[in-house]
Copies of this chain bind each other. A is one copy, B any other.
């Protein structure tokens, strides 16, 4: 699992198409809304990898997310499936299970939003300049 955590002022995406490629069967989540806007949040861009122990990696990244939220005073995390931090991607099925486990681990500790799994999206990202506002984690 590889992750980029951003302390973000503003995050906006718009889904422009469903994914057509990936490791194994291409199974995007069902699409409920095309747009998502979040302000003042921790953005967790996460790439689930083929060899991941889902329970262990979700536990470790949940701790990092909560620590960053405490340090930056944020009370919202956005879980963003992001296929661009590794060349060794998990299948869609495993990836989606990971995000379910991670959401469960964070439940009740911070407000949670999720971004759609398995789509092309436009992206607007705004991050204030401060040490520790962008963090890389690899487990």
Residues of A at the B interface (CB closer than 8 Å) are 4, 13-17, 20-21, 83-87, 120-131, 133-136, 138
Contact = CB atoms under 8 A, between A and B. Distances in A.
A125 B134 CA distance: 14
B123 A125 contact: yes
Contacts of A135: 84
A134 B84 contact: yes
A121 B134 CA distance: 10
B129 A17 contact: yes
A41 to B, nearest CB: 15
Contact of A129 (B120, B126, B133): B120
Given A84-B4, A85-B85, A127 B136 contact: no
20 contacts: A15-B129, A16-B128, A16-B129, A20-B131, A21-B131, A83-B136, A84-B135, A84-B136, A85-B85, A85-B136, A120-B131, A122-B126, A122-B127, A122-B129, A123-B126, A124-B124, A124-B125, A124-B126, A124-B127, A125-B126
A4 B120 CA distance: 16
Given A84-B134, A86-B138, A121-B129, 4 more contacts: A20-B131, A84-B136, A86-B136, A125-B126
